[in-house]
Structure 1
C-alpha cells in the first residue's frame, strides 16, 4: 500500500518592499557642527572672564595685582587714542612675519639637507643640535654687539626661534618617508630636487605644518624676548614700560593681545594646511 505523499508547506516569509530613500539629509553630529565648535572654543575664555570679574568685584585681590576687566578695556581705549595700540601691533606683527618667514625657509632647507643626505646628517646635525640648546636670551648680547640696536637684531633673533622647530620636524620626517615610494619615483626618472618637490615634500606635509605651528609660537616668544630688552616700540617694549610705570591693566591688556595675535596667526597656518591638502588631493 502506497503512503500518500504529504506536502509540508513552510510559511512563506513576507518580503517587505524596499523603502524609498529619504530625501531628508542626515543631521550632522553636534560635535561636528561649526556653531558648536565656535561656542566650545569660547567657553573656557568666557568662564575665565566671568571668574575674573567676580574676583575683582568682590575685591578678593588688590587692584595692583588683579585689575578689573573694565580697567583693562579702558586701558585699551586709552592706548588706542594715544596711537600706541595700532603702532605696537603693526611693528610687532611685522617683525614676527619677517623673522618667521626667514627662519622657516632656512629651517626647511637645512632640514631637507640633513634629512636626505647622510653627509649633511653627519656634519650639520651635531652642530645644529648644540645651537638649538642655547637659550633665547643668550643670543641677545651677541646680536646687539654684532647688529646693534635695530630691526636687524630683533628679526635675526626671531628667525633663530622659528628656524629650529621647522628644521627638526622636516629632518625627522624625511628620514621616515616610505623608501618604496622613493624607489618607485626614481624608477620613473625623479631625482634630486624634482624627487624632493614631487614625492618627499608632499609626503611630509603634516609634519611641515606642525613645524610651522611650533615655529610661529616660537617667533612670538622670541619677539617678546627681543623687545623686552632692546626696543623702543612694540608690544614687548610696552609690556616692560607698563611694568616700570605700575600699569598692571596695560600688562593684562598686552598679554591678551599677544594671545589673540598668536591664535590668529596660527589660524592662518590652518588655512594654509587646508589649501595644501586640496592641492595635493
Structure 2
C-alpha cells in the first residue's frame, strides 16, 4: 500500500536542484568579463616586448598610454578634440533641423511624401563619403566641406526613423485631435511629436555614430586641425601609437554622445514601462 503521507512530504520538500539554485551565487560575472580584454593586452605587450610585433605595425599598450599622456600634456589632443566636437555639433544640428522638417512634411502629407521620399531614398543609396571630393571642389578646403559631410551623413537616419515613427501613429489619435479642435500645429505638437519621439531618438543615436564616422574621413583630407589631422600627421611619420590614441578618442566620444542620448531618452520616455524597467 502506497503511503500517501510520505508522498506528500516528498512533494512539499524542495528538490536539491531547486535548493542549489536558491543559494546566493558569487558575484564574479562583471569581473570575469575583464579577463579576456586583460589577456589580450598582456599578450599584446608581450609580443611587442619580444619584437614579434613591430612598432611600425602596432605600438605596444605602454607606448600608446605614453603617447596619449604626452598629447594631453601638450594640449594638442584637447584642442583637436574641441575642434572636432564643434564640427560634429554644427553638422549634426543642421542635419537634425533638416531631417525633422523633411520627415514632418513627408510623413504628414501624401503629396509631400511623393515629392520628398523618392529623392531621399535615392540619395540614401549613394556612398556619401565618396562625395567628399565634390564637396571640396564646391566649397573649398575650409570648414564647410567637413561640416557638410557630417550633416549630409546624419540627415538620412534622422529622416528615415522619424518618417517611420510618424507613419506608425494611430490615425484614430489624429482624428480625435481634430475632433477636439486641434489644428495642424496642435496635432504635430501634442500627437505626432510625442508618438514619434521614440523613433526620433533612435535616429539621433544612429546619426551621431554616422557623424563621427563622417568626421574621420573629412578631417583626414585637407585638414589643418582636429583629431583627424593629428591622425594624418601621425600616419606620415609612422606613429602608430598616436593613431591608436586618436581612434580611442573617436570611440570614446561616440560612446559619450550615445550615452547622453540614452539619458535624454530615459527622461523623455519615462512614461514607458520598457524604459523604466
Cα offset, 1:62, TM superposition = 2.1
Aligned residue among 96, 107, 114 for 2:99: 107
Cα offset, 1:279, TM superposition = 7.8
1:159 counterpart = 2:145:
no
Counterpart of 2:21?
none
Aligned residue among 208, 214, 217 for 1:222: 214
1:262 counterpart = 2:245:
no
Distance 1:81 1:206, change over 3 A: same
Q: Give the alignment's Cα RMSD to 1 decimal.
A: 2.5
Q: More displaced, 47-56 or 147-156?
A: 47-56
CA distance in 2 between partners of 1:102 and 1:40 (Å): 43
SS at match of 2:111: helix
Superposed CA deviations along residues 12-69 of structure 1, whole A, max 9, x for unmatched, are xxxxxxxxxxxxxxxxx99xx9xx87x6886765554344334434544222212111
What residue ranges of structure 2 are gaps of 5+ in the alignment?
A: 1-23
Counterpart of 2:60?
68
What residue ranges of structure 1 are gaps of 5+ in the alignment?
A: 1-28
CA distance in 1 between partners of 2:195 and 2:36 (Å): 36
SS at match of 1:189: coil
Superposed CA deviations along residues 187-239 of structure 1, whole A, max 9, x for unmatched, are 11123121011111111221111100010001001111110112111111111
Distance 1:146 1:279, change over 3 A: farther
1:196 counterpart = 2:185:
no
Rg larger for: 1
Cα offset, 1:73, TM superposition = 0.9
Aligned residue among 260, 265, 269 for 1:277: 269
Note if contact 1:75-1:250 (Cα within 8 Å) is conserved in structure 2: yes
1:251 counterpart = 2:243:
yes
Q: How many residues align?
A: 249
Cα offset, 1:136, TM superposition = 2.5
Aligned residue among 66, 74, 90 for 1:82: 74
Q: More displaced, 264-273 or 46-55?
A: 46-55
Q: Could you tell me the TM-score, scaled by structure 1's length? A: 0.80
Distance 1:279 1:41, change over 3 A: farther
Note if contact 1:100-1:158 (Cα within 8 Å) is conserved in structure 2: yes
CA distance in 1 between partners of 2:32 and 2:124 (Å): 36
SS at match of 2:92: helix
Distance 1:211 1:81, change over 3 A: same
Cα offset, 1:265, TM superposition = 0.9
Superposed CA deviations along residues 148-185 of structure 1, whole A, max 9, x for unmatched, are 11112211111111111000111112111111122112
Note if contact 2:64-2:242 (Cα within 8 Å) is conserved in structure 1: yes
